[in-house]
Structure 1
Amino acid sequence: MQRVTAKICGLSTPETVGAAVRHGASHVGFMFFPKSPRNVEPEQAAQLAAIVPAHVVKVGVLVDPDDEMVARAVASGLDAIQLHGGEAPDRVAALKARHGIEAWKVLSVRTRADLDKARAYKGAADRILYDAKTPEGALPGGMGLRFDWTLLDGFAHPLPWALAGGIDVANVGDAAGRTGARLIDVSSGVESAPGVKDVDKIAAFLQRVAQL
C-alpha cells in the first residue's frame, strides 16, 4: 500500500517552512485569504516558495478568489491551487486550464451527501480534499474541527483525495488507518496559537506520519 504523506498548511515563516521540508512533508501550503490568521501576501509567499525544494509540492489555498488573486498567487511559485470556497466544477476546470497547474477542490463535510458532491468534480479537479464543515460565519478551515470519519466507509472516491480537519499528532495514526487516507493535511494541529506554527509540533507530526 502507498505510504502516508503529509501536507503542512498555512505556513508563513522561513523557520516553519524549513521544519516542514526538513522533517519530510510531501506538500506545503500557503494561505491567500486575508480573513485568515495564516494569510500571506503573494510577495511573502514567493520568498517562502523559493526555499522549498522541487520534490515538495507548493500549494496555494484560496477561497472564492477572483482571477487576479489566482494569477498573483500562482506567480509566487505554486505547483497547485487548493480552492476552499464554493467554486463550481467549471470554475475549477477553467483555473486549472488557464494556469496549467494542479487544481484541488475542498469539500466541507458534515453528512454523506457532502461526500457525494465530489463526483461533480471528476474531470475538473485533480484532487478532492475532505475537510470538516465549519459553523456559519466561521473561517472555512483551520478551526481544528473534524468530521465523522466513518462517513468515508465504503465511499467510492471519484478522484485522488486527501483528509483534513482536526488532525494532530495524537490522532493522525487513527485518521489514516480508519479512512485509508494516503495524504493528510494539517494546519491548526501543529500550531501553538491560531496562525502560529510550532516547529516542534511540525517535527513530531511528520515523525509520526513517517511511522505509518
Structure 2
Amino acid sequence: MIIKVCGMREPENVRDVENLGVDMIGFVFCADSERYVSMVSSNAGIIPDYAYGRQNGDEAPACGAMQKSKPHRVGVFVDDMPQNIVTRIYNYNLDYVQLHGSETAVMIDNLRRTVDPDIRPGLKIIKALSIRSEQDVKRWREYEGHADMLLFDTNGCKAGGNGEHFDWTLLDAYHGNIPFLLSGGISVDDADSINAIRHPMFAGVDLNSRFEVRPGLKDVALLREFIRKLE
C-alpha cells in the first residue's frame, strides 16, 4: 500500500517522516493554503535535498513501484499557471505533480509534453477529484489515458486538507484502470476500514490534517502508529 503524507513544510519534520518509510511526501504550492511552501531555491533548506538512489534524468518509477529508501516528491497545485508548475518541477526536482483543481486532460497532456523528457523525464501526474456524489467519481472517465494516478478526496470548502471523509461506498462507482489514492480526513482510527478495502485499483492513502500538530507539521508518532496498523 502506498503511503503519501501531504502538506509538509518543516525540514526536520520531513526527514523524520521520510524515515518512517513512507512512499511519497507532498508539498503544497498553492498560495491560499496554510501549508504553502513558498517559492525559494530548493537549496535554501525549506525542502531537504536528499539523494534518491538514482541520478538526475532517470525516470520516476511506475506508480506501483515506490522505492522504500527515500520517498518521492509530489508537488500539489490548484489551477496554477503552467509556467509556475514547470518552474517548481525543475527547482524541487519533483517526481510527481498532483493537480487539485479543475485541470483538464488537455492540460495534463500539454504539461507532460513540456517537461518530459527535456526537463523531468518520467514525471508522473496525479489528478485529484473532489467527491460528494457518484457523479463526481465518474469524472474518472475524463482522465483515463491521461493521468497516471487519481486521488479521491472530500469535496469541501478547501481544495484539500478539509479533515473530513466522503462516503467511501461511492468507490464502488469507479470502474477505471487508473490506480487511485484515498484521501479526506483519514486518521489512525480508519486503519481497519482501509485494510478492508478490496477495490482492485486501490493503491494507497493520502494523509494530512488528522496527523498534524499544526498545519504543515506532522505528528511522527501518530503516523508511525497508523503505519503499523496497516496490512
Change (3 A) 1:141 1:52: farther
Please state if 1:71 is matched with 2:86.
yes
1:156 positional shift: 1.1
Is this contact kept in 1: 2:73–2:95, CA < 8 A? Answer: yes
Q: Deviations over 1:135-183 (max 9, x none)?
A: xxx3211010111001112631331111100101110331342354331
Matches within 5 A, 1:112-123: 112-123=134-145
The letter of the residue matching 2:95 is D
Please state if 1:34 is matched with 2:31.
yes
Is this contact kept in 1: 2:137–2:173, CA < 8 A? Answer: no
Following the alignment from structure 2 to structure 1, what is the Cα–Cα distance between the partners of residues 41 and 193?
35
Following the alignment from structure 2 to structure 1, what is the Cα–Cα distance between the partners of residues 42 and 212?
19
1:121 positional shift: 0.4
Is this contact kept in 2: 1:15–1:199, CA < 8 A? Answer: no
Matches within 5 A, 1:79-98: 79-98=95-114
1:16 positional shift: 1.8
Please state if 1:173 is matched with 2:192.
yes
- Structure 1 runs of 4+ with >4 Å offset: none
Higher helix share: 1
CA RMSD, 1 decimal = 1.8
Tell me the TM-score normalized by structure 2.
0.82
Please state if 1:195 is matched with 2:216.
yes
Change (3 A) 1:14 1:52: farther
Matches within 5 A, 1:22-61: 22-43=19-40, 47=45, 48-51=47-50, 53-54=52-53, 55=67, 56-61=71-76
Change (3 A) 1:93 1:168: same
Q: Deviations over 1:106-144 (max 9, x none)?
A: 00001111011001101211111100100xxx3211010
Following the alignment from structure 2 to structure 1, what is the Cα–Cα distance between the partners of residues 124 and 39?
18
1:49 positional shift: 4.8
1:111 aligned partner: 133
The alignment-based identity, stated in percent, is: 31
Alignment coverage as a number of residue pairs: 204
Following the alignment from structure 1 to structure 2, what is the Cα–Cα distance between the partners of residues 52 and 108?
33
Following the alignment from structure 1 to structure 2, what is the Cα–Cα distance between the partners of residues 95 and 60?
14
Following the alignment from structure 2 to structure 1, what is the Cα–Cα distance between the partners of residues 41 and 8?
11
Tell me the TM-score normalized by structure 1.
0.88
The letter of the residue matching 1:30 is F
More displaced stretch, 46-55 vs 100-109: 46-55
Following the alignment from structure 1 to structure 2, what is the Cα–Cα distance between the partners of residues 161 and 7?
12
Is this contact kept in 2: 1:152–1:179, CA < 8 A? Answer: no
